[in-house]
A and B are shown apart, each in its own frame.
Chain A
Amino acid sequence: MLFAPPDPEILSRRDVIIASLKTIVPDGVVEAPSDLSAYESDALPSYRQRPLVAVLPKSAEQVCAILRYAAQAGVPIVPRGAGTSLSGGALPRADGILIGMGRMSRILEIDYENRCVTLEPGVTNAAITRAVEAEGFYYAPDPSSQIACTIGGNIAENSGGLHCLKYGLTTNNLMGVKFVLPGGEMITLGGKAHASAGLDLLGLITGSEGLLGMVVEATVRIIRKAPVTRTMLASFDAVPDAGACVAAIIGDGVVPAAMEFMDRKTIGAVEAYNAPGYPADAEAILIIDADGTEAEVADAMARIKIHVEACKGRLREATETKARAKMWQGRKAAFAAMGRLQPDMICMDGTIPRHALPRVLEGIAAMSEQYGLGCCNVFHAGDGNLHPLIIFDAMKPGELDKAEAFGADILRLCVKVGGVLTGEHGVGIEKRDLMTEMFSEADLDQQHRVKCAFDSGGLFNPGKVFPTLAACVEQGHMHVRGAQLPHPHLPRF
């Protein structure tokens, strides 16, 4: 059981709740079961739950009114952006109102002089860049779902992407929000000015996974696009050599725009899938992007070359857009390629200290033997964010359970070597019961009290992030069936 059972008293009031919501958003209440099924899961499809009702506000005032009503009526709330969460952050509740923010999708102001864009939460991540790229700017955080995911969801999850090490996560690129508290009152945090006044609540609500309130407007930082980007592919005969090379590059003061690691199994799988031309005999490869001005990129590439050679690696370089895309195509197809090997896949998301990579990969290989399941590893090597992909066949009895236990063991290992449960996908529902692996009771108590400071009624996204006595499920992954990702049009890397 994932949640406490739905409150029958709330279920019995469904008609009244729907009628009340219709007075607030006359044209935006979804109540028919067939229509509600569209909201029953996010990108973690092994968990499904139809909401009591969904409401689709069009303005901040409507959001305030909905939250005021929900507080008075004592009904749980689950906020939802585009529903691309990989951790079940937008999983509805049978006794809860799902608030879909997709209709609040206007870009309100583009201010180049102050390098920021003010927008509603339903604007997609990629739309921000589209709106400013003609002037040479872009929005840096680039989660793989960026063509669909919304800025509101990005803020809730503190979304990352391939370029975090150099350009930061959402939290480092968010300047201000208008935020509605669980009681329906709106506060303004930050804005176009650099520094905050008082406690940094903006930093706190970013990545709070919908537990503290709802963003109804955001101001984000935009960055001038680097004039030059080049890509390198380094291949190694041994994993420790690749690991040492990453450490040497970072230790030398080079911060690549992206640095991706793939192990032998992944290389083989993607080579069979879309033939990116990776060296077939390599135990590990690194794909590295350097960006900046001409001289900066030349300097970075020269230094990277020295370290690759010192670590017994072989280097290829790509300058033209087409050649760069070819180098990247295997990495970007890694998830899809796994689907060829087995019908099902789960994707883990721990972060480890980079120096622990050889040890963790050995540990994963041993677990793979022990569980009798395959596992390929891709790794955001720059920032230590590891994505092991466990492949299995859920139609074989017991295999899903084994895969889930394997995944939980991987996350335990990540924590044991000094890492964390999740680097970018969020805790949500799936890693909730592993939180005690990473945090002590006192740590969790402190976080829980912060939750209560915002939401004393416990109505906001209940059952997410914090472990409860009601559930003890070993989880921690994204589940893919039949090589079909939950949002098949989205690349996942």
Chain B
Amino acid sequence: MCAVRNCPIPICRASDDPHLLMTTVSNENEIVDFVAVARESRTPFEIVGGGTRRGAGKPMLGEGKPLPVLDVSGLTGIVEYQPEELIITARPGTSLAELKAVLAEKNQCLGFDPVAWSLFGATGKPTLGGAASADASGSGRLRYGPPRDSLLGFRAVNGFGQAFRGGAKVVKNVTGFDLPKLMCGSFGTLGVLSELTFRVYPRASHRVTLMLRDQNPEKGFAALRTIWKSALEPSGLAYIPASADLSLGDVGPENIGGGAALIRFEAAQTVLAEKIAATKTLIGDVTLLEQGEAIFAAIGEGALFKASDLDVWRLSVPPSEAARVANALNAPLWLGDWAGGLLWIGAEAQDAPRIRAQAQQAGGHAMLLRAPAIRRAALGIFPPQSPALVAVTASVKAAFDPLGLFNPGRL
């Protein structure tokens, strides 16, 4: 039995090397020691934090048996938090829940709206390191950008066994290469993180979610773009088609009619009133939703897909293409976020080529988020890239991890 806490993999057998079977580390020096052993024995390993996203990414190259695991969930704690500097430094195993609570005390938040991707059904505690490594951000990303826009600095151990830093602990810095950008969305393939410094944002005192009901995808996404192009700075712009049942009271099928455009604002109360009035002027009569926060949380988590066994795709497309792509795919289960810049699509296995082609035609790409391992292995999580891009990506990867020790093959 795998010793990783809350490991979602039911059977996780021992590797032959007992030293590397499952190692728990609690500080950077222990990571350095571990990587030295792995280097010596040329043993690739899997990096696991809360274990909630292990179903994402390509299956790792373990030659038929599970890889040894480096458990970093013990690397916890907030190292430094200076609200007036708008920065927080924490170890990667720190749970998102703890971090959010600490920030909320000072009326601050992480700008990238981290999500746990509960659609995987894992029961562990989602961590900061996991969210950044997987580029897992929710609807709020629309306003403050993805994790890469917030990660100012980090410490990590590379495949040479060296602890190093990238970036810094100030909000404005152009000294040297911007390595923090690379770490976000790298799925742990460049190094073992030991510390992360994020820029934080003020958390507004009030929030409101508005619904424009009975909109087909063309009209619904057009309304969302109208708000996105305005100066109103929304923090969520999602579209729920008539077919999607989020099982949340006021966006149930009986309420949304032909589909609903959802608009979220976060601001002081006096400011919200102005934004609501401006929204009505721009797109017509909207209603206030009671359960707006729960709805946006469900959207970011991919909760719509939790109970289904469809493959789940995330299509990044130019917002103006969202309705066309959604209509063309006519998927049994889907919704849109980020003003149409993101389409969550649930589809049957045989639809994969069509989905990739539609996303590409629209000028975007389709990421395969959830599917059985065999399909993730065959399709890759991202579409094939040009040979030049494949080559330079491999060179960059090798610059951090020449022996291919970290999460081999996952990206």
Residues of B within 8 A of A444 (CB): 176
Contact A199-B411, Cβ < 8 Å, known A424-B172, A446-B400, A453-B396: yes
Please measure, in the bound complex, the distance between the C-alpha atom of A253 and the C-alpha atom of B162, giving whole angstroms: 38
Stretch at the interface among B60-68, B227-235, B250-258, B326-334: B227-235
Stretch at the interface among B2-10, B116-124, B312-320: B312-320
Check if A483 is an interface residue, CB within 8 A of chain B: no
Check if B102 is an interface residue, CB within 8 A of chain A: no
Residues of A within 8 A of B86 (CB): 250
B146 x A351 contact (CB < 8 A): no
Please measure, in the bound complex, the distance between the C-alpha atom of A419 and the C-alpha atom of B233, giving whole angstroms: 31
Check if B15 is an interface residue, CB within 8 A of chain A: no
Residues of A within 8 A of B316 (CB): 193-195, 197
Interface string of A235-253 (1 = CB under 8 A from B): 0000000000001101111
Check if A332 is an interface residue, CB within 8 A of chain B: no
Check if B392 is an interface residue, CB within 8 A of chain A: yes
Q: Which of B85-136 contact A (CB under 8 A)?
A: 85-86, 106-108, 135
Check if A76 is an interface residue, CB within 8 A of chain B: no
Interface string of A407-450 (1 = CB under 8 A from B): 00000000000111111111100010001001110111111011
Q: Which of B145-162 contact A (CB under 8 A)?
A: 145-146, 148-149, 158, 160, 162
B158 x A446 contact (CB < 8 A): yes
Interface string of A248-260 (1 = CB under 8 A from B): 1011111100000
Residues of A within 8 A of B274 (CB): 293-296
Report the minimal beta-carbon distance from B115 to chain A, rounded to whole angstroms: 13
Contact A169-B172, Cβ < 8 Å, known A224-B229, A247-B84, A442-B164: yes
Q: Which of A336-367 contact B (CB under 8 A)?
A: 351-355
Check if A225 is an interface residue, CB within 8 A of chain B: yes
* Interface residue range, chain B: 35 or more
B267 x A296 contact (CB < 8 A): yes
Instruction: Kindly report which residue of chain A lies nearest to residue B275, judged by CB atoms.
Output: A293
Report the minimal beta-carbon distance from A369 to chain B, rounded to whole angstroms: 27
Please measure, in the bound complex, the distance between the C-alpha atom of A208 and the C-alpha atom of B396, giving whole angstroms: 14
Check if B82 is an interface residue, CB within 8 A of chain A: yes
Interface string of B365-398 (1 = CB under 8 A from A): 1010000000000000011011011001101111
Interface string of B256-271 (1 = CB under 8 A from A): 0000000000011011
* Interface residue range, chain A: 35 or more
Report the minimal beta-carbon distance from B184 to chain A, rounded to whole angstroms: 6
B84 x A355 contact (CB < 8 A): yes
B83 x A207 contact (CB < 8 A): no
Interface string of A368-391 (1 = CB under 8 A from B): 000000000000100111000000
Please measure, in the bound complex, the distance between the C-alpha atom of A113 and the C-alpha atom of B362, giving whole angstroms: 14
Check if B173 is an interface residue, CB within 8 A of chain A: yes
The contact of B399 among A185, A191, A453, by CB within 8 Å, is: A453
B393 x A199 contact (CB < 8 A): yes
Report the minimal beta-carbon distance from B371 to chain A, rounded to whole angstroms: 16
Q: Which of A174-222 contact B (CB under 8 A)?
A: 181, 185-189, 191-204, 206-208
Residues of B within 8 A of A114 (CB): 318-320
Residues of A within 8 A of B160 (CB): 445
A197 x B383 contact (CB < 8 A): yes
A185 x B388 contact (CB < 8 A): yes
Q: List the interface of chain B (C-beta within 8 A of A).
A: 82-86, 106-108, 135, 141, 145-146, 148-149, 158, 160, 162-166, 168-182, 184-186, 190, 201-204, 225, 228-233, 267-268, 270-271, 273-275, 278, 314, 316-320, 338, 341-342, 363-365, 367, 382-383, 385-386, 388-389, 392-393, 395-400, 411
Task: For the A-B complex with A199-B190, A292-B233, A420-B173 known, give 18 more contacts whose Cβ atoms are closer than 8 Å.
Answer: A111-B320, A157-B174, A185-B388, A193-B364, A195-B135, A195-B314, A200-B185, A203-B178, A293-B271, A299-B271, A351-B168, A351-B172, A352-B170, A353-B170, A355-B84, A380-B172, A444-B176, A449-B399
Q: List the interface of chain A (C-beta within 8 A of B).
A: 111-115, 157-158, 160, 164-165, 168-169, 171-172, 181, 185-189, 191-204, 206-208, 224-227, 247-248, 250-255, 292-296, 298-299, 351-355, 380, 383-385, 418-427, 431, 435, 438-440, 442-447, 449-454, 465
